[in-house]
Amino acid sequence: MGGLTLVTPAASYPVTLTEAKANCRVIGTDEDTFLNGLIASATAYVEAYTGCSIEAQTWDYTIDAFADEIELPRGPLISVDSITYLDTANDAQTLATGWLEDLPGERVLRDPDASWPAISTRKNAVTIQFTSGYDTVPASIKQAILLLIGDWFRNRENTILGQTTSEPPHAVTALLTNHRRYGF
């Protein structure tokens, strides 16, 4: 099992402050700081629950060795940006060819006409840098985030520093079910 490291976080959230304020029926700016925190917390909750990046993010995924099919642990896949590895002399190299992106499958595949290079026997000898996130955030994900924000806004006593102390509304899990990734 490899390691996953966030390289570049999302530049924005899928729900704006204006949308959150309208959802919570807030007028004025007194609650802006609190709502911004809820937007960040609800987005993080949805990403953790689904195993997906909502807005575009860049990740490093390290693994011990190449395989014919390498499933990336975070989707939806936008692009594979680079593949680097440690050669048998433990020198860093960048793999320019010999692999294919499987965008629907969120995998890196060995090109059938190529072979992987010889690599170091060290742990985490291969690093795949990729970008994941939705081109257009599905309405069901935005709605789930808004439901969480609304619930946490109304039930502040159940929210401690963005961590909910109660179960999310059933509608949230229902909206997110089709977006949930399994296996990682």
Q: How confident is the model at residue 62 (pLDDT cuts 50, 70, 90)?
A: very high
DSSP 64-84: SS--SEEE-SSBSEEEEEEEE
Comparing CA positions, the residue from 80, 70, 73 lying closest to residue 125 is 70
Identify the CATH number of the domain in which residue 38 sits.
1.10.3230
Task: Please indicate, yes or no, whether residues 38 and 69 belong to a single structural domain of this protein.
Answer: no
Predicted pLDDT of residue 25? 96
Task: Please indicate, yes or no, whether residues 34 and 77 belong to a single structural domain of this protein.
Answer: no
Higher local confidence (pLDDT), 170 or 29: 29
Predicted pLDDT of residue 163? 57
pLDDT value at 145 more than 60: yes
Does 89 fall in a domain?
yes
Number of structural domains the chain divides into: 2
Mean pLDDT check: name the lowest of 49-63, 125-139, 169-183. Answer: 169-183
Predicted pLDDT of residue 101? 87
How much is the average pLDDT of 1-23? Answer: 93
Does 184 fall in a domain?
no
Task: Please indicate, yes or no, whether residues 140 and 50 belong to a single structural domain of this protein.
Answer: yes
Separation between Cα atoms, residue 147 and residue 128, nearest integer Å: 35
pLDDT value at 70 more than 60: yes
Does 111 fall in a domain?
yes
Mean of all residue pLDDT scores within the chain: 90
Task: Please indicate, yes or no, whether residues 157 and 169 belong to a single structural domain of this protein.
Answer: yes
How does pLDDT run across 87-136, given as a tens digit for each residue? 999 999 999 888 898 877 789 999 999 999 999 999 999 999 999 999 99
Range of the domain at 140: 3-54+136-179
